Structure 1
Amino acid sequence: MTLLLFIFLLAFVQVGSADVLASSSMLGPRQVTGLLHGSVTVKCFYPATRVNRHDRKYWCKQSTRQCSTIVSSNGYISRDYEGRATITDFPDYGLFTVEISGLRRNDIGSYKCGIGINDKLFFKVKLDVSQDSVVPEEAQLFYIKQQGAVTITCDFGSQYGTARKYLCRMTETQCITVIDTLGNVNSSYKGRVLLNYNEAPGSFNIFMTQLKRRDSGLYLCGAGRYGTSGETKELNIHVYEEPLLSNGNIEQPLVKGVLDGSVSVECYYDPKGNITLKYLCKWRQNGCTQLINSYGDVLDSYEGRIVMHDNPENGSFTVILNQLQENDAGYYWCMTDGEQEKKSSTELKIIAGQPNLRGVNEFNVVAGSPLTMTCSYPCKYYSYSKYWCKWKNTACDPLISHEQNQTGLVVTCDQDSRILSLNFDQVTPTDQGWYWCGVKHEGHYGETMAVYLRIQGAFQRSEDAPNAESNNDVALSKTERKSKIAAGVESPVESSAEDNNSKVLLSVLIPLAVMFLLLAAIFAFVKFRFFKNSDRVSVASYRTNISMTDFENASQYGAKNNACMEESHETQLGEMNEYAITSGSPKQEPKTTKRGSKEEAEMAYSTFLLNSESISATNS
């Protein structure tokens, strides 16, 4: 009974080992060909586990009895291959290469490319040496772990600069299109494949992400149309399962978000590589639209909605997208400019639900007023770190919590009511912009909520240049105020208030002054016309036919000229004394009332009537 149990356990261990080996197989070319006296390079791909990265790599030649080692990573080189064979390991990429130079006819044969000792992990390669001048092109090998990515470069020359470019997958009878430059994308590769042109005409790149075991196979990249015109290049893609993750980074093939909520996408790169550009783009059938990059460039329609946090210590950057809309659903790609860097894609789905962070999303505040913005969070975020930050195109750095910082803002958290507050003692025009409330857990950015703060009554600079002669003082005072504002001596609110008061005062005084001048001019004109008309009153205005001869006749008949009469003294009103005329020497000229021309004309007319009546009585 014990013996049977032992046999069963042994068989189980062997089966388990076989499964591990099957899932951790190596891959390389089945056959390579080199020119006589030339050289050949063989790429050997292996699972980049911790054990495999540090284990022995070797290249050996098979015979009927054994496989004799030619070169190994331990420094061994066979005597017949000294100076002709080299082996180079790239453990970070799960790859080592073997190069054989000075090829001879006796180099033809079967070889093994392997890891460890006793043929633990290997694959077989047949080497051929040709005397022809041209070596046939072999299929390019790509050894990719599951959920990984691959970059393929195809170059067919400038003669195919305007021709259709494509990638297709070989079957027994045809080559099924995966993607082409006409916008066709196979449904099983939607969001996982991308075709981009290179600078050189006829050259292009193909990126594939989220590779699965079923994606392994033979592919063709080409220019023109398969089977009828153009050229093709053969590609052999092998996708393997990796038992252990080498860096602990977990890809995100799918993220979910709710309307008005947020999502975060983590992207990984080699921190030791020469990476200068990192960006996130949204996939479309004929390209990928860049949304944000590490230089601070942000697509206009995503301003205030997207931010990138770079963490070069662990070779990752996180992109947060909030204020989610229905049209944000789709595929997003993490990209870098490194040639060996993997490209990863993530699908975003919009689902039903409500954001966990809630608050007012927009504030309109008068400059100089206090303000408190609040953000409520659920119980599940109780142990998370929370923050407020002011959005910029380059980052959203958290503001200092529980204490006054340089911007005059205070962040407080009431854990009992689960409210995170951002307090302004006095808002200024420079405070206008986007603010984010967010949570963070174990170094990973979580959900965020965006709030827009709009400041009313902000100081506006005049677009028109001031008059150099009349507005020198005004311009100087504005310059002084701007200098004070920059130095922190005077606040923009006070400066703006003074300018507004001055504008209001001028708008009132100027119309009053114009009205006063207009009334004065009218008054002067009327006054002038009145005196002028009073001096020009004539006897004819009384509609008589009086002539100067009539006045002479009246003088002859004894009519007295009042103008020449001595002025009489008039008694006070109410006394019965008659007018008394006195003459004496020295003559005293009492004060008289000055008559106007009109009054004199009336008196002359009255005298004329009296004289006429007297003449008529005498004649009768």
Structure 2
Amino acid sequence: MKMWRFQNLLILLCTAFSRLPQTASVIQVFGYEGRDVKISCSYSWWFTSTEKYFCKEDCGYKDVLITAKQQRKNRYSISDDENKRIFTVTISDLKLDDTGTYWCGVSKEGPDSYTEVKLKVIKDSCCDKVTQIQGDEGGSVSIRCPYESKKKNVLKYVCRGKQPSTCLQRALITSDRQTKRFRFTDDRKSRTFTITIYNLTLEDFGSYLCGVQSDSGLDDFSAVELEVKEFCRVKSSIIRGIVGRPVTFQCSHPPQLRDKEKFFCKGDQLNNCTDMMANPTKFRLHQLSSSCFSVTITELEAGDAGRYYCGPDSQRSFTDYTRIQLEVVSPHESSTVSLSTMTGHVTSPPPPPPPSSSPFMTLFYILPAVVLLLIITLVVLMIFKKYSTKLQVGGVGDVMDSVGLEEKTRINDICENPEDSAHTRISCQRENSPESQQHVYQGLPPTENIYSVCQPLH
């Protein structure tokens, strides 16, 4: 009787243990929210033809997520490499609540074989602390990335954006791969690697991640925000107008600023010039294209002479604008021009012939002189008419010749010939900057090129 009870107890114990998972080592897996994760589970050669499956938590019948026969189910897929004796489970579109304990199961006689899997899902973003750096357009900038002393010999890299999950695949440069515009250096003593970016452009503006590879599958990252300061682009023209007549200025701007409010002001400096649009009757603005607008002064006065500025955004926070020097002359001054300026050289009429007693001989000498004088007069009138109807404005330093101008509006040609318009690259200073009162635009000839960093004007 006692023997029978002992045998029954052994059966019960064996049955109970047969229901417990037979586990090996634990697999630690990390994944990013919204991304995929692969979990690889190995098995012994004598289980090659048996059923494999993947389950969660208690791994009961209802906890089985997918089997090898199903291959794909919902967000789960499974493949079995019998040669390597590894089956791989892929979980797609990870959720934060996918974090937990899973089991790789292999069916066999008696208790199944299990491998425990610990999955942790984190957000695909970085980081709580962001380092701010600045660089100048056309120059270079260095991004410094710290790392732990135990990571001296691992792969390091830098990518654009804020998503760690794809950073290595999108790396601009790695510790084992150099590029033309990016240079990698590693100071192991200070445990800092540096990425230097050359020939900065405005497109380099944005977020960067420094990555340090980790054996855990979850790399270490630090975040950097790069600001690229733009050079000012200033187009300049010198034009001449006539008192009592209209004159039109053309002002260019980037197409993306078309809908911004425009400004047109007068003064020695951009940051303290006087707004002229307060008088819409005299100053009329018209949008000519997506990258150009015009301002017309309807009736010039002598006091309108001076320096003008026009461009997008009434607050003048943008750096693409036009600078115009207007000269105003009286109608009398505009019509007084030497013939040598227009024709280069005028031949003087021949001296009159000596007096003759014969009327026929006198007429013979007078008629050619009259015809020659008429021809010269016609040539001069044709040249004069040509100069009165054609507006000549060059880039910087080319002055519009207002001689003989008709009642037509004079314009600078910045919009029609943007390639030919000279421009100045100059440093914009803030209005409250002491340096701005001394160095901005003062004493700068229109043809001078200045390369400096642009700062927003307020």
TM-score normalized by structure 2? 0.33
Q: Which has the higher contact order (CA 8 A, sep 6+)?
A: 2
User: Going by fraction, where is helix more abundant, 1 or 2?
Assistant: 1
